[in-house]
Amino acid sequence: MTGPDRPGPGGSTGPTGVHRTRVEWIDTDAAGIYHNTAVVRYVEAAEAALIRERGLAGYFPVAPRVRYEVSFEAPLHFEQEVTTSVTLTRLGRSSMTFSFEVWGGAREGRPAVRAAHGRYVTVHIVGGHEDGDARSAPWPPVWVARLGVDLDDSPDPGPGPALGKNAGDE
């Protein structure tokens, strides 16, 4: 399959969350074209769908993002339908790597278009945010089981030398 109906970003087959919405006026500039920050909200909504479907209660407060990269490919316009998919591509001892795609629906006789894609890493933390005592820790075994993927203890190959390793899996 191609476009927004594929199983996951880049055809990946890990656990995937999908969020469907429209570009709202608040998501745009004065010309009606989406702000790049809207992508983060769309991706977080798809991630929330994945986490909710897998029953990982309490995930978000203990899984901050430590790396985020996105490539913007095409504009999205006010009231255009948007489909965002997020797929877990790697489950490390204390980190998760997700890939994502944001697709704009067909409009004005033009086909659907991939507007953005990228990846990000979250790290499981324990300790307090307030006192700066937060540190990485292994994912709870029940979460690993509910995600239904094998733990990958190998070093993260990373996206290239510019970004290095996944934080937390060192």
Q: Alpha-carbon distance 44 to 102, whole Å?
A: 11
Mean pLDDT of 138-162: 78
Percentage of residues of the chain with pLDDT beyond 70:
82
| Residue 114 in this model has a pLDDT that exceeds 60 | yes
DSSP lists the bridge partners of residue 84 as 19, 102
Helix (H) or strand (E) holding 126: strand 125-126
- CATH class name, domain 3-147: alpha beta
Q: What is the pTM of this model?
A: 0.83
Locate 39 and state its tokens.
Answer: 């992508």
Which one is predicted more confidently, 52 or 154? 52
Locate 142 and state its tokens.
Answer: 């029940």
Locate 120 and state its tokens.
Answer: 């990000």
Q: Alpha-carbon distance 50 to 15, whole Å?
A: 7
Q: Tell me 96's DSSP state.
A: E
Q: Alpha-carbon distance 89 to 77, whole Å?
A: 29
Output the pLDDT for position 24: 95
Query: Which is it for strands 95-104 and 81-91: parallel, antiparallel or unpaired?
Result: antiparallel
pLDDT for 38-88, tens place per residue?
999 999 999 999 999 999 999 999 999 999 999 999 999 999 999 999 999
Q: Which residues contact 85 (CB under 8 A, 6 or more apart)?
A: 4, 6, 8, 9, 16, 17, 18, 46, 100, 101
Chain mean position to CA 56: 16
